[in-house]
Amino acid sequence: MSDGTHLTTWVTRETKERFAAVARHQGLSDSALLKRLVELMLQGASAAEVGTPGDAGRALRDSRLTVRIRPDDQLLLRERSAARGMAAATYVSVLTRAHLRGLAPLPKAEWLLLEKSVSEISRLGRNINQIARAANRGEPVTAPGRNDLMYFIKICEGLRDYTHGLLQANAKAWRQGYEDPR
């Protein structure tokens, strides 16, 4: 005995005729094409969409949103998401969250650059602390001299300015094209 069941729907006569024509073109019966379409749809569905019916399943399903945008906006979306190293859907999701929560998120690539800058500053700080401890213990300190310390300060100022610029550019990039021109 089969554990199969029957799936039924109503469509317009025109839709049924068009569907039958597509099925014939593919060498299938209407039922076989419909079964194939249902199976393909279920393969692509997330676990949240296939979950059990009820409030929890509905909440997860409602977290998905479909929007339509103009072709020229789609082009801009692809360019901006690619520039940030993100998929377009991820970019839109991050943008929406940033807008709703008033955030200016950093994409992974920019975050990694900031982490590298912080790491360099930490390394520089450790070296200066080692020199200061040696000097405080009365050990002879031959380096760095005044010129070296001035160079360290310039490096720190450069990293500070670079980081500040990166943060400003990041915030501007998320707002670009959406600011009130007044």
- Within the chain, what is the greatest distance between any pair of CA atoms? 96
Average pLDDT over residues 20-38: 85
- Per-residue pLDDT at 59: 58
Q: What is the pLDDT of residues 110-153, one digit of tens each?
A: 777 788 888 888 888 888 788 888 888 988 877 667 787 788 78
- Using the predicted structure, report yes or no on whether residue 158 has a pLDDT greater than 80: yes
10 Å CB burial of residue 31 (0-12, 13-18, 19+) is exposed
Preceding peptide of 144 cis, ω within 30°: yes
Do 60 and 51 contact (CB within 8 A), yes or no?
A: yes
pLDDT above 50 (res 179): no
The answer, yes or no, to whether the previous bond of 71 is cis (omega within 30 of 0) is: no
Over residues 3-9, the mean pLDDT reads: 80
Cα separation, 174 vs 99, whole angstroms = 9
Best-predicted range by mean pLDDT (72-76, 90-94, 139-143): 72-76
* Predicted pLDDT of residue 13: 93
Q: Are 23 and 29 in contact (CB under 8 A)?
A: yes
Rounded mean pLDDT of the chain? 77
Binned at pLDDT 50, 70 and 90, residue 180 comes out as very low
Per-residue pLDDT tens for 54-68? 555 555 556 777 888
**Size of the chain, expressed as the number of residues it contains:** 182
Residue 181: predicted pLDDT: 45
Alpha-carbon gap, residue 114 to 88, rounded angstroms: 23
